[in-house]
Amino acid sequence: MTRSVRLAARQALLEQRSFWRSAEYALFTFAFPLMILLLIGAANVGSYLPGTHVKNTTVFVPSILAFGVIVAAYVNLGSKVAVLRHDGVLKRIKTTPLPSAAYLGGLLASTVATVVLITACTGLIGWLAFGAGPRPGGLPALTGGLVLGIVCFATLGLAISSVITSAESAGPIAYASFLPIAIISGVFDPTFGGLPQWMSRMVAAFPVKALAQLMQGAYTVRPFPAWDLVNLALWTAAGAGFVAWRFRWHS
Amino acid sequence: MTDTSVIDEVSPVVADGLAVQVRDLRMSYGSTEVLRGVDFDVRYGEVFCLLGPNGAGKTTTLEILEGFRRPTGGTVRVLGLNPAAQAARLRERVGMVLQECGFPRQARVAELIDIWRSYYPHPRPLGELLDVVELAEVRNTQVRKLSGGQRRRLDFALALAGDPDVVFLDEPTTGFDPEARRRCWAAIENLRRLGTTILLTTHYLDEAECLADRIAILQAGRIELAGTTHEVAARAGLATRVSFTTPSALRRGQVALPDGVGLAVRGPVSVCHTDNAAVTLRRLLDWAVENRLGDLDGLAVAAPSLEDTYLQLAGTDPDLETM
């Protein structure tokens, strides 16, 4: 057991080194959420949510935290695993005595490290630029949101990797499968609303808004997010089921 | 799992001296029979080559030995283990080079070999691995910048990282230029010197002839022939070829053909095939002396080559018509 943990940690270190070695990839992973944070954040300075005393940025910054989690856990991990499978790296791992759990554990640990870094950057810049920080006593909610977000979206990332058949399409498919939902979920626009009923039902069914609202709960007081928690749990279960059914070590 | 149990299970096989045993191996995909009763053994410390054209079942055989596929019938043992049932234990002692298996794109050579070493209980030293595959100079290069030949040698290094007792190489030089092939062969020679048992597949005759101690020719899911290069050629029933430059007197018809050697005059060269080269040579030389033909110019005795055997099995040798 300890050996597996040690091996996973080593794998994670190698993954992180490789991640930062492809500078443009790492930069893009970080720059995309940060750019959106700064640009759209600046456009919302001084505005309040209609009929409240809650600043737009207080809701917007945690939404971008959720966005960062999804980029790192879903898009990056999903496309990474698809490329590893396509390149035959996963198959090669199967020729060694390394336990599968230790290898996947290493990939996940590296993903967690990326998520923590991206969250720290986004949170810090959101606080410095817009004065939006977690509310007093909001840290447990933030931590809980991060953990659930990583678990849910990393599982969905592994699931989507099994659908992607070529290395070239890995990134585009991963992004295209969540960006439209992120937009209609109002991740990029705190005042986004007035959707037709069928569309708001759809938004409520997907896990993007659920995670955004969990993160918002760390910044402003919200009612207990029962549905958001159930939503993420259901998506995690569905993703895990799909992974168990379709995950392959070779293409 | 205690060490004693490992030794108990392995020692009888060590006594047999067999690293790999294959008995009546059968494999079908649906109604297609890919392997139709394959038998062969690989002894400890030898380089064994499974030779055959594409689609003969080489890779399928290897994948069964590696534990990636469960055979439809027959038994296989690798180091005394059943690959399908004991894959985890097998992985610790077997190195595998599969066809077209990639590397993590951003990893560096030494870094990658090093993490591979961490997967095994008794890894080989990093420096030694780099030397065996001649990659010490590019140890800090990113894998994606390596040439095809260098990548294949990195394959070898990763397969060797755990100091395996057996190494499986699936078509190690397919698609390489001559220089890259030569360096690959050198790396395989280095492996042999380390005492590693090697089972390789190839469809190149020269590769089998150059590297293998023993060869099995796999054709349409069956072993057609097995043994050393010479044995394989001999067992194919091919005769030794004796040839010499046709003397001008013979060409002009001034001299009768010798009796009992089946000599055929093919323009400038005269050829005969025989199972007993010594007798044939004596008769030919006696005949030459009687007819004042002197020493036969360009006299050559050629043992049947692996290529003759292979081509005969494949049924594509036009020369055989004349025998």
Confidence (pLDDT) at A96: 94
What is the phi/psi pair of residue B93, to 5°?
-120, 0
Q: Nearest by CB to B104, which of A18, A86, A98?
A: A18
* Cβ atoms of B6 and B58 closer than 8 Å: no
Structural domain containing residue A67? 2-246
Q: Is residue A242 assigned to a domain?
A: yes
User: pLDDT tens for residues B244-268?
Assistant: 999 888 888 888 888 888 888 888 8
What confidence category does residue B320 fall into, taking pLDDT thresholds of 50, 70 and 90? very low
Q: Is the pLDDT of residue B8 over 60?
A: no
Q: Is residue A251 assigned to a domain?
A: no
Return the HEC string of B189-236.
HHHHHCCCEEEEEECCHHHHHHHCCEEEEEECCEEEEEECHHHHHHHC
What confidence category does residue B315 fall into, taking pLDDT thresholds of 50, 70 and 90? low
Residue B27 C-alpha, separation from nearest chain A C-alpha, in angstroms: 21
Confidence (pLDDT) at B105: 85
Residue B106 C-alpha, separation from nearest chain A C-alpha, in angstroms: 5
Q: Is residue A60 assigned to a domain?
A: yes
Residue B75 C-alpha, separation from nearest chain A C-alpha, in angstroms: 21
Dihedral sign (CA A139, A140, A142, A143) = positive
Question: Which chain B positions have a beta carbon within 8 Å of A21's beta carbon?
Answer: 106, 142
Question: Which chain B positions have a beta carbon within 8 Å of A18's beta carbon?
Answer: 104-107
User: pLDDT tens for residues A114-125?
Assistant: 999 999 999 999
Mean of all residue pLDDT scores within chain A: 93
Q: What is the C-alpha to C-alpha distance for residues A226 and A7, in angstroms, rounded to an integer? A: 37
Q: Give the count of domains, chain A.
A: 1
Q: Is the pLDDT of residue B43 over 60?
A: yes
Q: Is the pLDDT of residue B313 over 80?
A: no
Q: Nearest by CB to A88, which of B102, B142, B158?
A: B102
Question: Which chain A positions have a beta carbon within 8 Å of B167's beta carbon?
Answer: none
What confidence category does residue B228 fall into, taking pLDDT thresholds of 50, 70 and 90? confident
* Cβ atoms of A244 and A236 closer than 8 Å: no
Q: Is the pLDDT of residue B321 over 50?
A: no
Mean pLDDT, residues B30-54: 91
Q: Nearest by CB to A91, which of B98, B121, B158?
A: B98
B92 touching A, CB under 8 A?
Answer: yes
Which of B6, B101, B160 to mutate: most A Cβ within 10 Å? Answer: B101
Q: What's the N-to-C CA distance of chain B in angstroms? A: 61
Asked if B102's CB is within 8 angstroms of A92's CB, the reply is yes
- Beta strands B214-219 and B47-51, pairing class: parallel
Q: What is the C-alpha to C-alpha distance for residues A184 and A193, in angstroms, rounded to an integer? A: 9
Residue type, B151: R
B56 touching A, CB under 8 A?
Answer: no
In percent, the amount of chain A with pLDDT more than 90 equals: 79
Q: Is residue A7 assigned to a domain?
A: yes
- pTM (predicted TM-score): 0.82
Q: Lowest-pLDDT range, A91-105, A198-212, A228-242, B169-183?
A: B169-183
Confidence (pLDDT) at B10: 43
- Residue in chain A lying closest to B163 (CA): A96
CA angle B175-A87-B76, nearest 5°?
75
What confidence category does residue B21 fall into, taking pLDDT thresholds of 50, 70 and 90? very high
Query: CB neighbours (10 Å) of residue B225?
Result: 20
Return the HEC string of chain A.
CHHHHHHHHHHHHHHHHHHHHCHHHHHHHHHHHHHHHHHHHHHHCCCECCCCCCEHHHHHHHHHHHHHHHHHHHHHHHHHHHHHHHCCHHHHHCCCCCCHHHHHHHHHHHHHHHHHHHHHHHHHHHHHHHCCCCCCCCHHHHHHHHHHHHHHHHHHHHHHHCCCCCCCCHHHHHHHCCHHHHHHCCCCCCCCCCCCHHHHHHHHHCHHHHHHHHHHCCCCCCCCCHHHHHHHHHHHHHHHHHHHHHCCCCC
String of DSSP letters for B72-105 = SEEEEEETTB-TTT-HHHHHTTEEEE-TT----T
Q: Is the pLDDT of residue B14 over 60?
A: no
> Does this complex have an ipTM over 0.95?
no
What would you measure as the largest C-alpha separation in chain A, in angstroms? 61
